[in-house]
Amino acid sequence: SKGIEQNTLKLMSQVLQEVLPEVDSARCVSLSGTSFAREVAQVLPTDLVAASTHGMAAAKNVQEMLHAPSFRAYASNDPIGVE
């Protein structure tokens, strides 16, 4: 999901932490990029960014899981910028 909650102006990661407090926020990663499902399915080159508020470990883990010849993920420690 992306965007900002209309009434509170909270980012989606903040809403997630509020609604699901039992989820370890250190494992939450935000994804962003110009990826379109049709282009990914057609194996066209795609880039996106994975970002985590708790250091780079979770973001790098997602980066490694998503890496493929036509699908490139970059890790970031700036989830607010990514969101």
Picking from 9, 67, 62, 65, the residue whose alpha carbon sits closest to that of residue 76 is 62
pLDDT higher at 81 or 2: 81
Mean pLDDT of all residues in 30-53: 89
pLDDT higher at 33 or 64: 64
Per the CB < 8 A criterion, the answer to whether 76 and 30 are in contact is no
* DSSP helix/strand/coil, 55: coil
Taking 70 as the threshold, does the pLDDT of residue 47 lie above it?
yes
**CA–CA separation, 56 vs 54, rounded Å?**
7
